[in-house]
Amino acid sequence: MRLIFVILLLSIFTAGTAFAESDTHKYNEANKLFTGGDYLSALELYNSIGIKNQNLEYNRGVAYFKLGRLGKAVLHFNRALRLNPDDEDAKANLKYIDSIKKDKEKKDKTGTLEELLSAFTNSFSMNGLTSITLLFYLLTAISISGYIFVRKTGNARRVIGAIVVFSTATLVLASLTAVRIYKFENKTMAVAMQEEIVARTGPTENANTAFIFHEGTVVTTGETRNGFVKVILSSGITAWAPLRDLEKI
């Protein structure tokens, strides 16, 4: 029985490793094809990799751009940034695409403190930030438990100090992590996939045209009705666009 268990564990481990090796091989092969100018074959190979990886998303974006698919390129650069908000290449490429695409988007101005906090949180991976928060949470819990034992001794003050430090750090980190998780999970952003999309004043084909936006434009999406989704441009203008013409980031 124990032997079967060991064999099972080994086979699961080897299968996982084999998949990882296969994906890595495909990724590196796709890079070769891309470098040789065969963007389509490279993209097909990138698309056949079934894992989430920031470099993979970035390279898919570049391949789509080379094939003239601006919407898809914007989508994958944004997905790369969701996995690694500090990816300077993805940011630069989005900035470049913004300079050549038809619709110009307004960028939100951020304060210095917000920028500093973003820089700090973005220097960790999503799971890294969550793990650090959990570590401080654990230290806070241990400190509280320790205080219970030493509360009537001379060490009580020191332990209280530790509790204050750890719990404050936990609260700050938990807030930053929550913001990061919210941004990660908040899939309300979408990218226009058609060359030209007519946004209407209501969720029907008969409604009047509110505005027209173009491929690659990033919009915030709201409720969905009747095959239409409410879209909000960066300027704040709202209308309804066909759901099939957008892809969520």
Partner 1 sequence: MRKLFLVISVLLLAQSAFANIKLSAKAEPAILPPGEAFRLVITVEEEGSLSLPDPVLPRLKNFEIVGKSTSQQISVTGLSSVTVTKSVVYQLVVPKEGVFTIPPVTLTYDGKTYATEPVTITADPNAPVPRSPRTARRRSPSFYSLFDRPPFKRADRGIRKDDLIFTAEFDKNRVVPYEQVIVTYSFYQAIDIWENPDLDKPDFKGFWVENMEFLNGRKEKTTKATIGDKTYRVTQVRFALIPLTPGEHEVAPATLVAQVDPWSNPVRLRTQPYAINVEPFPSADKPAGFQNMVGDYEVSTSVKPDKPEVNGGATLTIVIEGEGYLKPVPAPYAPVIDGFEIFDPQVKDTLDKSGARTKIRRVIEYPMIPRTAGKVTIPPIEFTWYDPDLGEYVKKSTEVIELDVKPTATAPPAPVAEGDVVQMAESIRFIKPDVKKLEDYGTPLHRSLWLFVFLLTPAPVILVSYMIARKREKLATDVAYSRLFNAAKNASRQLDEIKNVPDPKDFYAGVDKAVRGYLADLWNIPAPSIDEETVNRKLKDSENGIASDITALLNTVKMARYAPTSSSDMAKDIEKAKEVIKKMEQLS
Q: Does 55 bind partner 1 (CB under 8 A)?
A: yes
Q: For the CA atoms of 8, 14, 20, 21, what is the dihedral angle to 10 degrees? A: -160
Find the part of the chain contacting partner 1 (CB under 8 A) among 28-36, 106-114, 157-165, 217-225.
28-36
Residues numbered 180 to 239 that lie near partner 1 (CB under 8 A) are: 181, 184, 194-196, 205-206
Distance CA 70, CA 202 (A): 27
Residue 201: how many CB atoms within 10 A of its CB? Answer: 13
Give the nearest distance from C-beta 2 to partner 1 in angstroms.
26
| 3-class SS of residue 7 | helix
State how beta strands 228-232 and 238-242 pair: antiparallel
* Interface with partner 1 (CB under 8 A), residue from 9, 15, 18, 138: 138
Interface segment toward partner 1; rule CB under 8 A; list 1-9, 85-93, 114-122, 159-167: 85-93
Is position 68 an interface residue for partner 1 (rule: CB under 8 A)?
yes
x/- letters, 139..158, toward partner 1 (CB under 8 A): -xx--xx--xx-xx------
Please count the other Cβ atoms lying within 10 Å of the Cβ belonging to residue 79: 20
Residue 27 binds partner 1 (CB under 8 A):
yes
Q: Which of 11, 14, 28, 188 binds partner 1 (CB under 8 A)?
A: 28
Contact status: 127 vs partner 1 (CB under 8 A): yes
User: Which residues pair with residue 247 across a beta bridge?
Assistant: 191
Comparing CB distances to partner 1, the nearer of 40 and 116 is: 40
Which of 14, 131, 201, 224 forms a contact with partner 1 (CB under 8 A)?
Answer: 131
Q: Which of 80, 89, 72, 38 is nearest to 190 (CA)?
A: 72
How many residues of this chain interact with partner 1, rule: CB under 8 A?
Answer: 59
CA 103 to chain centre: 23
- In a 13 Å sphere around the CA of 240, the CA atoms on its Cβ side amount to 16
Radius of gyration (C-alpha) of the chain in whole angstroms: 24
| Token pair belonging to 3 | 């032997």
Q: Which of 86, 89, 98, 247 lies at the binding interface for partner 1 (CB under 8 A)?
A: 89
- Does the protein bind partner 1 through residue 92 (CB under 8 A)? yes
CB of 246 to partner 1, least distance (A): 14
CA angle 129, 130, 134 (to 5 degrees): 115
Residue 212 tokens, joined: 């027209």
Contact 61, 76 (CB under 8 A): yes
Site residues, partner 1 (CB under 8 A): 20-21, 23-24, 27-28, 31, 34-35, 37-40, 49, 51-56, 58-59, 62-63, 65-69, 73, 83, 89, 92-93, 96-97, 126-127, 130-131, 134, 137-138, 140-141, 144-145, 148-149, 151-152, 177, 181, 184, 194-196, 205-206
